[in-house]
Structure 1
Amino acid sequence: MVTVDHLVKDYGTLRAVDGVSFTINKGDILGFLGPNGAGKSTTMKMITGFLTPTSGTVTVDGLDVSKNPIEVKRQIGYLPESSAAYPEMTVVEFLTYVAEARGIRDPEELNSRLADVIVNCHLDSVKYRAIENLSKGYRQRVGVAQAIIHDPKVLILDEPTDGLDPNQKHEVRKLIQAMSKDKAIVLSTHILEEVEAICNRVIIIDQGKVLVDETPAEFKARIPGASIDEVFRDLTKGSALA
């Protein structure tokens, strides 16, 4: 579904991403990990077409992101780390705006999509409230809702459970798992237990390079008896923790 091939991103003399390559298949929930400044967000922004790579390619469902940016964006749902929204809009107004921008204008389809994401993201109790008056947890759920409203084939989620309480985290994880049956999902998170709970693959990136690409079980087996946090710290020692 997604192929990242020798991706490089330079900012002047700083190489933020250095020859990253991997593939993501339908059904994958890929835990994308690394210390702060490792190149995770930059890589995800290049996959979505938000940033242009210095070199290398990304293809989504057979389409080159650089050559077919609009077509690729139709296939992707993206939740950035700081999900932007119009604070004066209500939840329903904002999600309607996003859906229409995504080309969903038939009233019946629009109402159906809105109803689905409001239920799945547990937004019914706040759907007529202005986003600026919502808690951080509810704003995060609005961010997840806008990422999935057009039923994309690929989901790029940067810290999707940030700010949620344990029950809300559990619900979002269940939603991600349910959606993974017919999607390819990239999940960047600081919560390493989340990777163990729902991901079937782990990639660790450090100083712009891929260190690990394996299953969570293989990753934990690197240090028998250790937690996933301990293995991560051992691999990335010397770097700031993610």
Structure 2
Amino acid sequence: MQLTINNLSKTYDNGVKALQNISLEMSNGMFGLLGPNGAGKSTLMRTIATLQDADQGNIMLNDLEVQTNKNAVRRLLGYLPQQFGVYPKMSAEVLLHHLAVLKGITNKKERTNIVNALLHKTNLYDVKKQSLDGFSGGMKQRFGIAQALLNNPKLLIVDEPTAGLDPKERNRFYNLLSEIAENTIVIFSTHIVDDIKELCTNMAIINKGKVVLKGNPLELIHQLEGKVYQKVIHRNDLNRYKDSYKVINEKLFLGKPVIHIVSDTNPDNGFTPVKASLEDVYFSQINN
């Protein structure tokens, strides 16, 4: 499968330019969409998922134009939005059966086989009789993936899927998405840099509705190698360093502020070179 996004733009009634001439290409595998909150990620996801229309541009899923063939695209689509609701008193098994019927899987034997297979895949089979209000955050996310896979989608969209998960649940979710991505286009939208580093072979950074960088994460890190330096500073000196250097990130180490800068030459002045990371790549674009 191939997803091609051509010059997509969307402006809301309040004047916010959510998308500005977005162009991207994706094929089977995991594609990371990275950006801060409000960057336009969710708007792009909803547009690809046929939930809203763009003002201009188009999206092609193989030879299907998404905005004019919504029903055909929906048959190939799985979607896990950033926030999704469940019937809390229903069991996982019963609700999956209900959602499967809504997706057109009306044959009971076929539906039972599909539901059981997905409960096993998402490691929920042993709790399939349990009410969803007793599920942890990670279990609910895995249920969300199960419902998104009911129609065996060729395109799977997951929007901020690991927010709030503990490390164990996050790793379990990583493994599940990686398995799915072997035969599916998986668009993984997040503001968590580590998610992209762990999972995706291709990615794009979106900020203020624009694609500011795209490529393979390891190649993008390599392009920044040898240009990142760090220094422990006094908190009151931060603005002075911002005036003199391209500060891309600031954080605390043992309670003391540490800044990362990008420089083509060694800045000296107490700075030490550090190995570039995807976080450095990200902040070098977001904090331009």
Larger RCO (alpha carbons 8 Å, 6+ apart): 1
Root-mean-square deviation over aligned CA pairs: 1.4
Q: Which amino acid aligns with 2:279?
A: D
- The 5 A counterparts of 1:1-242 are 1-12=2-13, 13-26=15-28, 28-224=29-225, 225-237=275-287
Query: C-alpha distance in 2, partners of 1:181/1:125?
Result: 26
Q: Which amino acid aligns with 2:280?
A: E
Alpha-carbon deviation of 1:234?
A: 1.7
Q: Deviations over 1:24-80 (max 9, x none)?
A: 112x21010011111000001000001111111112232112211111011110000
Query: C-alpha distance in 2, partners of 1:170/1:137?
Result: 10
Decide which structure has greater strand share.
Answer: 2
TM-score calculated relative to the size of structure 1: 0.93
Query: C-alpha distance in 2, partners of 1:40/1:181?
Result: 23
Runs of 5+ unmatched residues, structure 1: none
Moved over 6 A (4+): none
Query: C-alpha distance in 1, partners of 2:37/2:134?
Result: 30
Alpha-carbon deviation of 1:174?
A: 1.4
Percent identity of paired positions between Structure 1 and Structure 2:
32
Q: Is the 8 A contact 2:221 2:281 kept in 1?
A: yes
Query: C-alpha distance in 2, partners of 1:101/1:83?
Result: 16
Q: Which amino acid aligns with 1:19?
A: N
Query: C-alpha distance in 1, partners of 2:87/2:213?
Result: 38
Q: Which amino acid aligns with 1:17?
A: L
Query: C-alpha distance in 1, partners of 2:151/2:171?
Result: 23
Number of aligned residue pairs: give it: 237
Query: C-alpha distance in 2, partners of 1:126/1:161?
Result: 21
Q: Is the 8 A contact 2:50 2:74 kept in 1?
A: yes
- Secondary structure, aligned partner of 2:283: helix
Q: Which amino acid aligns with 2:39?
A: A
TM-score calculated relative to the size of structure 2: 0.78
Alpha-carbon deviation of 1:163?
A: 3.0
Alpha-carbon deviation of 1:228?
A: 1.1
Q: Is the 8 A contact 1:140 1:163 kept in 2?
A: no
Runs of 5+ unmatched residues, structure 2: 226-274
